[in-house]
Structure formats: C-alpha cells, structure tokens
C-alpha cells in the first residue's frame, strides 16, 4: 500500500494584475507517495512553479488562493500559520530552484551559507521546548490563521468586485447602480468580519488554556533535562578533578584532555556549535559530490561552476533533513552532461535519504529515468496523470503526444517536432479543452466543453474527449508510436 505524504486537492490559484485575473492554476489535484518521484511536466506558463510555490507557502503577494487544500502530515498547509509554515518549509519540505545563482548569496562564503540554517536553530533546548509545545501551538495558531485567511479572502473578493467601478466604459447609470451595490457589499463584508472574529474568540479560549498548561510542563521538562546533563557532567568531572591533584605532568595532560572532551560533549548536547555545524556541512558537501569540501567551504559562489553551485543549493536544502524535496527545473540552466550528473545526484540522495520528490520540468525526456509517476500540466490544469510507464508507453492526451514528439532524439540530439502555436493567455483561458486550439485532433466539443478525467486504469487518467466512447478512433502521431515500438523492442531485445 502506498503511503501518502502530501496531497493537493482542487487547487485554484489566480493572480491579480492590472490587466485582469491570471488563472494560473485551475483545479489541480495530485498525491505524492512516500519515497516516490512525481514529475510535473508542461510548457512554460502551465502553472508548475505556482503549484510548487503554493506548497512552499511562497506565492507572490498578488496571488489569490481561490479554492483547494494542500494536506501534509494532517495539516492543511493553506491554513497553518506563518510560523508553522516556516517550520514545515524549513524542516520538512525543501525546494531547489532553477537558477542556483539566485538561491545563493554571491558575497557570502559557501560554508557560511550552508551552516547558517543550522546555526539559526542551534539551541537544542529551545528546539526541544518548541517540539514539546508545537502540537498545541499549531492548534491554537491555526484557528487565528484560518480566521485571517477567511477575512483576507472576503476582503479580496470585495476588492475584486469593487474594482469593477474602475471600468471607464460604464454608463453613469450603470456606475451609480454599481456604487450602491458596492456599498451594500461593504456592509456585508464588515458583518462577515465581525462574525468571523467572534467565532474565532470562542474557539480559541480552550485552546489557549491548554497551550498555557503545555508550555508550563514543557518548561519543567526542558529544565529537568538540562539539569540532568549538567549533573552528569559534574559527576564525570569530579573524580577527574581529584585525580588531577595527585597526577604528575604526563598524566595531567591526559586528564585535562579527558575533561575537555566531557565538556565538549555536554555543550554538543545543549547546542549545535559552530564546529559541529562545520563538520556537518562538510559531510553534506561530500554527500552531494563536492570534491575537497574543506577547501571549498571557504570559497565564494563565483568560484564554483554551475553544476557545483547546484550541488551546493541541494546541500543547503538537505541541512534541514527534509522529508519532501521539490525540484523546480533544477537542471534547465545546465548543459547536458552536467544535467545528467545532477539528475543522478538527486536520484541517489532520494534513495539514500528515503525522500519523496516532486520534480518539475518542461522536458519529458529529462525525467525518463527518474519519474515513478507523471502529471502533465497544460494551461493550469493536469491533463494526464499516470505511472511513468503509462505516460511514456500508453499516452492518451494529444498534449502528452505533442510533448513526447518534441523530446530530442537520443542519437541525433535533434528536436523532432516542436509543438505548434503558443500556450493560451491565462487571463482568458479557453473554454473546453485548452489545448484544442493547437491540436489537430481537436473535435467540436473540445472548443465547447471541458473534458472530464477519463479513467484508463486505476492509476492512469486523462482529460480528453478522445476517450469518450462516442469519439472517433484516432492514432497517436507516428513519431510517438514508432518510438514506443522501438523502445519496447529494445527492452525485449535486452531480455
């Protein structure tokens, strides 16, 4: 049975711009299972980055989350408070971006950038305290965060409505009518806000009481823990002190060394020291394949090649020991050989650390050796969703066919068929199947009605009217079927 680590449900995200609402993500749902790599593939502008930014909680300010939930560890990430989000973002979900330079500070040495994150959270007692209270704190903060989100959403909806008044083409009559409506909506809004606040007050009271109790208990626990550590240190050191008085020169040296060691161990139990952070950083640099990490630790980003920089970015993401790694086109800026090395690295780290991975790319060819499952996105929607095998060997959506046709040939390296046309303007997403305008397989209905997801197998779905029983039978492009035939033949030949 697959264990689900993350699920995105019916996510709808738009951006407010001067030209209108950009419908960036339109009802996207998917799941990430433990230990798997899910690849999200689609052309520029299809909504891949916006989806992953929503998971990370780093959407631009003009984003409106209109609908949906992102469930991680039982929490809806769209509802948790900023503080808790930061914790999850920093600790449990790591992200690697396309351009390694933009995620590194050019004037800070590599070593410092890797250790920084560890040292910010260096007080182990504080971490222990936070861990002890986190569950109750989240419950408490969530109620407030949820209220704030609801208030914000109501305000945004109102703003959106009120912005209609800016329309210069309105007649005076229409405008007056609109202004009356806006006034009424404003009153409605104030009422809604008042009620939300009241509701929140009631819910929050028992949670706050519980939190205060938990905080008190946690303080006592941390205090006791610290006391035990110090007591153990004193216990261990006392006999050495006695010995020291009677010892001769050589013995003294050894005893002092032993005492220093005990002190160091005690410190390490209480906090992450700079030395420990450095040791860990160098170990992670080694893990991601940086040669001579001790020397490299003291260098600046410009002294690293593009591939090495991307390795550092991966190292930084790993310092927090994440459970999920989101890679947003991590190899697009790199040349082909380096690209292959970074993909191999991500694959290896994923295996060794049992990570679950979301890998974003516009090139299906890149993910052939990585993906367990693939979600193909077009114009803010997932149009096909299946295991890698299903999407590569039994693709059903014309857009997936187009993507497969455009994978460069391994031998000739030449791109076969560029996808004709351009993706739609997302302020006015097309009705029906958004890809219809560019598809030679489009039928009349594709321009009128949005296709539902047709189930092909328990794991394979595609949103295309071609799968409707009334649709004419069509063949996928020759170039795709030929490739599939050849690679299947190749596989059989190997057996």
Q: In what order do the strands lie in the sheet with 63-72?
A: 20-33, 4-17, 63-72, 75-76
* Nearest-CB residue for Mg ion: 49
For ligand ATP, the closer of residues 15 and 435 by Cβ is: 15
CA angle 198, 199, 205 (to 5 degrees): 90
Task: Tell me the window of 49-57, 379-387, 403-411, 434-442 that interacts with Mg ion (CB under 5 A).
Answer: 49-57
Shortest Cβ 353–ligand ATP spacing (Å): 26
Instruction: State the nearest-atom distance from the C-beta of 15 to Mg ion, in Å.
Output: 14
Binding-site partner at residue 189 among Mg ion, ligand ATP, none, CB < 5 to 8 Å by type: none
| Under rule CB under 6 A, residue 398 binds ligand ATP | no
Interface with ligand ATP in residues 358-387 (CB under 6 A):
362
| 272-279: long-range pairs with CB below 8 Å, 24+ | 272/118, 272/119, 272/121, 272/122, 272/124, 273/122, 274/115, 274/119, 277/115, 277/118, 277/119, 277/122, 278/111, 278/115
In this structure, are residues 343 and 331 in contact, taking their beta carbons and an 8 Å threshold? yes
Task: Determine which residue in the list 8, 28, 41, 46 makes contact with ligand ATP, applying CB under 6 A.
Answer: 46
Residue 46 touching Mg ion (CB under 5 A): no
Q: How far is the CB of 98 from ligand ATP (least distance, A)?
A: 7
Binding mask 104-143 for ligand ATP (x = CB under 6 A): ----------------------------------------
Which of 38, 47, 375, 424 forms a contact with ligand ATP (CB under 6 A)? 47
Number of CB atoms found within 10 A of residue 352's CB: 9
- Residue 405 Cβ, how far from ligand ATP at the closest point, in Å? 18
42 near ligand ATP, rule: CB under 6 A: yes
Q: In this chain, which stretch among 37-45, 233-241, 265-273, 342-350 interacts with ligand ATP, using CB under 6 A?
A: 37-45
Q: What are phi and psi of 453, to 5 degrees?
A: -75, 120
Interface with ligand ATP (CB under 6 A), residue from 37, 45, 293, 465: 45
The helix/strand/coil state of 255 is helix
Nearest-angstrom CA–CA distance, 89 and 71: 13
Task: List Cα–Cα distances, 196 to 143, 162, 270, in angstroms.
Answer: 11, 21, 43
Report yes or no: 112 and 300 within 8 Å, Cβ to Cβ. no
Place of tokens 């009334």: 470
Residues 37 and 361 sit within 8 Å (Cβ to Cβ) = no
- Considering only 1, 60, 107, 246, the residue that binds ligand ATP (CB under 6 A) is 60
Instruction: Output the DSSP codes for 117-141.
Output: HHHHT-BHHHHHHHHHHHHHHHHHH
Give φ, ψ of 273 to 5 degrees: -85, 165
49 forms part of the interface with Mg ion (CB under 5 A): yes
Size of the site for Mg ion (CB under 5 A): 1
Q: How far is the CB of 95 from ligand ATP (least distance, A)?
A: 13
Helix (H) or strand (E) holding 370: none
Q: Pick the closer one to ligand ATP by CB: 267 or 332.
A: 332
Smallest gap from residue 47 Cβ to ligand ATP (A): 4
- Least Cβ distance, residue 43 to Mg ion (angstroms): 10
**Minimum distance from residue 50 beta carbon to Mg ion (Å):** 8
CB of 329 to ligand ATP, least distance (A): 6
The region of 38-46, 241-249, 300-308, 319-327 touching ligand ATP under the rule CB under 6 A is 38-46
62 lies in the site for ligand ATP, by CB under 6 A: yes
Contact by Cβ (8 Å): 26, 75:
no
> Which string of DSSP letters, residue by residue, matches 194-228?
HHHHHHHHHHHHHHHHHHHHHHHHHHHHHHHHHHH
Q: Which residues bind ligand ATP (CB under 6 A)?
A: 15, 17, 22, 24, 42, 44-50, 60, 62, 362, 426
Q: Which residues bind Mg ion (CB under 5 A)?
A: 49
């Amino acid at each position: 049975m697959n264990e689900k680590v993350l699920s995105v449900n019916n996510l709808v995200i738009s951006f407010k711009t001067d030209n209108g609402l950009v419908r960036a993500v339109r009802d996207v749902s998917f799941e990430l299972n433990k230990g798997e790599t899910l690849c999200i593939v689609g052309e520029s502008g299809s909504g891949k980055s916006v989806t992953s930014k929503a998971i990370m909680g780093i959407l631009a300010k003009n984003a409106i989350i209109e609908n949906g939930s992102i469930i991680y560890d039982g929490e809806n990430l769209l509802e948790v408070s900023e503080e808790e989000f930061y914790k999850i973002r920093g600790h449990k979900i790591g992200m690697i971006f396309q351009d390694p330079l933009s995620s590194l500070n050019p004037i800070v040495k590599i070593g410092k950038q890797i250790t920084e994150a560890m040292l910010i959270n260096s007080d182990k007692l504080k971490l222990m305290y936070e861990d002890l209270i986190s569950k109750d704190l989240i419950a408490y903060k969530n109620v407030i965060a949820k209220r704030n989100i609801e208030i914000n959403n109501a305000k945004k909806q109102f703003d959106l409505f009120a912005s209609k008044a800016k329309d210069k083409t309105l007649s005076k009559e229409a405008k007056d009518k609109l202004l009356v409506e806006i006034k009424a909506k404003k009153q409605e809004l104030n009422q809604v806000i008042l009620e939300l606040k009241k509701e929140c007050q009631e819910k929050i009271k028992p949670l706050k009481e519980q939190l205060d109790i938990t905080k008190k208990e946690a303080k006592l626990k941390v205090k006791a823990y610290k006391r035990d550590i110090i007591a153990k240190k004193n216990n261990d050191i006392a006999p050495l002190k006695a010995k020291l008085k009677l010892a001769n020169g050589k013995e003294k040296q050894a005893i002092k060394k032993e005492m220093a060691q005990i002190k160091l161990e005690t410190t390490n139990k209480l906090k992450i020291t700079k030395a420990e952070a450095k040791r860990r950083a160098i170990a992670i640099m080694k893990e991601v394949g940086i040669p001579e990490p001790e020397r490299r630790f003291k260098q600046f980003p410009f002294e690293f090649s593009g591939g090495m920089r991307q390795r550092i970015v991966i190292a930084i993401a790993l310092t927090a020991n994440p459970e999920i790694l989101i890679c947003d086109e991590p190899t697009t800026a790199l040349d082909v050989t380096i690209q292959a090395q970074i993909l191999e690295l991500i694959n290896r780290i994923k295996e060794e650390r049992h990570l679950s991975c979301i890998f974003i790319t516009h090139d299906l060819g890149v993910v052939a050796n990585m993906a367990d499952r693939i979600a193909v996105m077009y114009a803010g929607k997932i149009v096909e969703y299946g295991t890698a095998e299903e999407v590569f060997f039994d693709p059903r959506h014309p857009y997936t066919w187009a993507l497969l046709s455009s994978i460069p040939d391994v031998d000739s390296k030449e791109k076969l068929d560029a996808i004709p046309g351009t993706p739609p303007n997302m302020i006015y997403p097309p009705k029906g199947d958004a890809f219809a305008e560019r598809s030679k397989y489009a039928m009349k209905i594709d321009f009128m009605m949005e296709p539902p997801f047709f189930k092909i197998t328990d794991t394979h779905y595609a949103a295309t009217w071609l799968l409707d029983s009334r649709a004419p039978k069509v063949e996928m492009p020759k170039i795709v079927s030929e490739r599939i035939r050849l690679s299947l033949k190749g596989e059989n030949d190997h057996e």
